[in-house]
């Protein structure tokens, strides 16, 4: 008999498991609104034109080889990624106070940052919002940090529980790490206003809390790369230290290429260079060095003005399509007279709508309408199209009446 005979079957991942269930459904009307991946109006995955162009250039360049990258990844990619999130004119970059390392998309960047903190930082408690992306708890716990939550979402208003947030972070022990979604909070679609961000910044700085930004949706929320990095830039502008994990999965559609970056903004160039030396010791035994292809695509696009501009146009088109799906779904529910206030669908931001539908209503929609979403009632707006909005509106209407 197997030496693994006693292995217990693990449950499916709560988000990726939705796709597993969807794939098993043979209904022609089935709809996958679980995973956060962009789809076209035709329901197809999208490879950006500018990405195709960059890949073509890379393929045609015979001087390119498949050697290992350095432990910290592609130098150009790292420099350009820091500029993208902190701003081209960021004093922190000019003063060489930022260390940036290429990592395996957003998840890998969070994990490398967490492993570094667990090893070198004096305070091992990290506060994450309630609710948050389901992987956060596991990433930080497995890295050796102790995870606590702060209030974030108020189900009654379907908006931000700002008072609760200030109270919980105000009561956090000095030095605690605080995970902040840079924009387009997942799963709620609820972001602080700029005035609220400023209050959060003052609170964190006055209490000596360490901000760790998760930026998985830059450009995807508003359609504007600078606007979506505003929160991060406010924290860097005050001269304090912070962490930022960037993902190019959504904003460049590079999901499976696993391309992202971890930046640590330090007080001085000397600290930044010592931090980087230790990041290498975290990365080397984990995966040695990152893959070359995705980072080369990103660097090719970011360093060429014309390609960069083409990217921003395609990015805005994706953001605009999602915003238009919000309006169409809201209009369809209004037209049906579906009971309840659905204005949060158009108020929330980014890839997801946190509908307020409960587990039973979600199960009903899956069973009766073949619509797949996470059990917390989160729907990926990027998976909707003008053709599928009526079907979803009908299902929501039936679920709540």
Binding mask 168-197 for ligand PMP (x = CB under 6 A): -------------x----x-----------
Please say if 342 is a catalytic residue.
no
Distance of CA 228 to the CA centre of its chain: 12
User: Footprint of ligand PMP on residues 318-357 (CB under 6 A)?
Assistant: none
Catalytically annotated residue among 168, 191, 250, 376: 250
Smallest distance, ligand PMP to C-beta of residue 140, A: 12
Residue 197 designated active-site = no
Looking at 121-251, list the stretches that DSSP marks H as alpha helix, in order from N- to C-terminal side.
135-143, 162-170, 194-207, 230-237
Binding residue (CB under 6 A) for ligand PMP from 87, 260, 290, 377 = 260
Residue 257 engages ligand PMP in binding (rule: CB under 6 A): no
- Residue 245, classed as helix, strand or coil, is strand
Nearer to ligand PMP, 225 or 249 (CB): 249
Diameter of the chain measured on Cα atoms = 64
Only one of the segments 51-59, 100-108, 114-122, 146-154 lies at the binding site for ligand PMP (rule: CB under 6 A); that segment is 100-108
Q: Which is nearer to ligand PMP, 112 or 399 (CB)?
A: 112
User: Is residue 253 at the binding interface for ligand PMP, with CB under 6 A as the rule?
Assistant: no
CA distance 144 to 142: 5
Place of tokens 């929320």: 221
Interior/surface letters 269-306, b for 16+ CB within 10 angstroms, e for the rest: eeebeebbeebeebbeeeeebbbbebbbbbbbbbebee
Bridge-based pairing of strands 210-215 and 242-247 is parallel
Closest CA to 400 of 370, 367, 356: 356
Does residue 262 sit in helix, strand or coil?
Answer: strand
For helices 305-336 and 389-400, angle between their N-to-C axes, nearest 10 degrees: 40
Q: How many residues bind ligand PMP (CB under 6 A)?
A: 12
SS3 for 118-155 is HHHCCCCEEEEEECCCCHHHHHHHHHCCEEEEEECEEC
106 binds ligand PMP (CB under 6 A): yes
Interface of this chain with ligand PMP, residues 377 to 396, rule: CB under 6 A = none
Q: From residue 15 to residue 54, what is the string marking binding to ligand PMP with x (rule CB under 6 A)? A: ---------------------x------------------
Please identify, using beta-carbon distances, which residue of 78 and 247 lies nearer to ligand PMP: 247
161, 168, 191, 214: the catalytic one is 214
Q: Considering only residues 133, 152, 153, 213, which one is a binding residue for ligand PMP as defined by CB under 6 A?
A: 133
Residue from 191, 214, 314, 376 in contact with ligand PMP (CB under 6 A): 214
> Taking the complex as a whole, how short is the minimal distance between the CB of residue 212 and ligand PMP, in angstroms?
11
In degrees, rounded to 5, the angle at the alpha carbon of residue 16 between the alpha carbons of residues 15 and 21 is: 100
Q: Which positions lie near ligand PMP, rule CB under 6 A?
A: 36, 105-107, 133, 181, 186, 214, 216, 247, 249, 260
């Amino acid at each position: 008999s197997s030496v693994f005979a006693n292995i217990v079957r693990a449950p499916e991942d709560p988000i990726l498991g939705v796709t597993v269930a969807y794939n098993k459904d043979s209904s022609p009307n089935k709809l996958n609104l679980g995973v956060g991946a962009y789809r076209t109006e035709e329901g197809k995955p999208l490879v950006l034109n500018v990405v195709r162009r960059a890949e073509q250039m890379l393929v045609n360049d015979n001087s390119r080889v498949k050697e290992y990258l350095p432990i910290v990844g592609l130098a150009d990619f790292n420099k350009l990624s820091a500029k993208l999130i902190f701003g081209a004119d960021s004093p922190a970059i000019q003063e060489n106070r930022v260390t940036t390392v290429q990592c395996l998309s957003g998840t890998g960047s969070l994990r490398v940052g967490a492993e570094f903190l667990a090893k070198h930082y004096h305070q091992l408690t990290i506060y994450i919002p309630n609710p948050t992306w389901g992987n956060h708890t596991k990433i930080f716990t497995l890295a050796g940090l102790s995870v606590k939550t702060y209030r974030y979402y108020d189900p009654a208003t379907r908006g931000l529980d700002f008072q609760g947030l200030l109270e919980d972070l105000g009561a956090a022990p000095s030095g605690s790490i605080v995970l902040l979604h840079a924009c387009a909070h997942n799963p709620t679609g609820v972001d602080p206003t700029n005035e609220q961000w400023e209050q959060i910044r003052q609170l964190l700085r006055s209490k000596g809390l360490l901000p760790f930004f998760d930026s998985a949706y830059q450009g995807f929320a508003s359609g504007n790369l600078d606007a979506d990095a505003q929160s991060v830039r406010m924290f860097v502008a005050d001269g304090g230290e912070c962490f930022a994990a960037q993902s190019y999965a959504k904003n460049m559609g590079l999901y499976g290429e696993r391309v992202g970056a971890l930046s640590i903004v330090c007080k001085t160039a000397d600290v930044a260079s010592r931090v980087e030396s230790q990041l290498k010791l975290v990365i080397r035994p984990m995966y040695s060095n990152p893959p070359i292809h995705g980072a080369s695509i990103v660097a090719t696009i970011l360093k060429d003005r014309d390609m960069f501009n083409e990217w921003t146009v395609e990015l805005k088109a994706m953001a605009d399509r999602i915003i238009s799906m919000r309006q169409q779904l809201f209009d369809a529910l209004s037209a049906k007279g579906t009971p309840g206030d659905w204005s949060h669908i158009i108020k929330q931001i980014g890839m997801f709508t946190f509908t307020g539908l409960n587990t039973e209503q979600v199960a009903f929609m899956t069973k009766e309408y073949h619509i797949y979403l996470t059990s917390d009632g989160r729907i990926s707006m990027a998976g909707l199209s003008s053709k599928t909005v009526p079907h979803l509106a009908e299902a929501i209407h039936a679920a709540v009446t």
